[in-house]
Amino acid sequence: MKGTLKGTGFRGYREYFRQVLSADAYEQFIADLPGELNEIFRQPKILPSNLYDIQSHHDFLDVCCAYWGPAKEQQNAREMGSIVAKTDLTGLYKIIIKLASVPATMRSLTSAWKNYFSEGRAWLDKTEPHHILATIQDPYRHRIHSYI
């Protein structure tokens, strides 16, 4: 699997586990991560502009699914998505989202996708005052992406 993901995604995932696990449980979770994932999460700072292999991203989501178990996968992925959004949507993004209309924010989806992923694309199919339909074409989509 080729393709890359910006480090911003990993920053949010790390923040999620820091918030929901005790310090000792978090350290054990990181220690149990395989190879490159362990290296990524042990870095003192995950830079948002660093590019990481998309396979590492999928491997991490697989680890999350195994850690949570099938019964908690959907609930925890949504919770993680909420924390990822709070981590990612800071500074200028936070101001723009508060000031912009929903249609304007959704139109920015296409450029935001290109900023984070090297593969796939996003576009708006339909924009009406109370109805927006967007499509994301991601050749590397993981089964829990729709919950995050």
DSSP characters for 31-90? Answer: HTS-HHHHHHHHSS---TT-EEEHHHHHHHHHHHHHHH-TTTHHHHHHHHHHHHHHHHS-
In this prediction, residue 98 carries a pLDDT of 76
pLDDT value at residue 20: 95
For the question of whether the overall pTM of this predicted structure is more than 0.85, the answer is: no
pLDDT of residue 115: 76
pLDDT of residue 19: 94
Segments of the chain scoring below 70 in pLDDT:
1, 91-93, 146-148
